[in-house]
Chain A
Amino acid sequence: EVLIVESGGGVVQPGTSLRLSCVASGFDFSSYAMTWVREIRGKGLEWVAGLNNNGLSINYGESVKGRFAISRDNSKNTVFLHMTSLRADDTGIYYCARNGSAGIFDSWGQGARVDVSS
Chain B
Amino acid sequence: ETVMTQSPLSSPVTLGQPASISCRSDRTLVDTDGNTFLSWFHQRPGQPPRLLLYKVSQLFSGVPDRFSGTGAGTEFTLKINKVEPEDVGIFYCMQATHFPFTFGQGTKLELK
Give A contacts to B, CB under 8 Å: 35, 37, 39, 43-47, 50, 59-62, 95, 97, 101-106, 108-111
Interface contacts (Cβ under 8 Å), in number, total 65
Within 8 A of A (CB), among B47-94: 48-51, 54-55, 60, 90, 92, 94
The closest CB in chain B to the CB of A106 belongs to B51
Contact in complex: B49, A45 (CB < 8 Å): yes
Contact in complex: A62, B39 (CB < 8 Å): no
The secondary structure that dominates the A interface is strand
Most chain B C-beta atoms within 10 Å of own C-beta, residue among A39, A44, A110: A44
Give B contacts to A, CB under 8 Å: 1, 35, 37-39, 41, 43, 48-51, 54-55, 60, 90, 92, 94-97, 99-106
Contact in complex: A104, B48 (CB < 8 Å): no
| Bound form: Cα–Cα A44–B42 in Å | 12
Q: Give, as a whole number of angstroms, the nearest-CB distance from B47 to chain A.
A: 8
Q: Which of B38, B51, B104 has a CB less than 8 Å from the CB of A105?
A: B51
The closest CB in chain B to the CB of A108 belongs to B48
| Bound form: Cα–Cα A39–B35 in Å | 27
The closest CB in chain A to the CB of B101 belongs to A47
| Bound form: Cα–Cα A60–B100 in Å | 6
Q: Name 18 interchain pairs, CB-CB below 8 A, sorted by A.
A: A37-B49, A43-B105, A44-B92, A45-B49, A45-B103, A46-B103, A59-B99, A61-B100, A62-B1, A95-B49, A102-B96, A103-B55, A103-B94, A104-B54, A105-B41, A106-B60, A108-B49, A110-B48
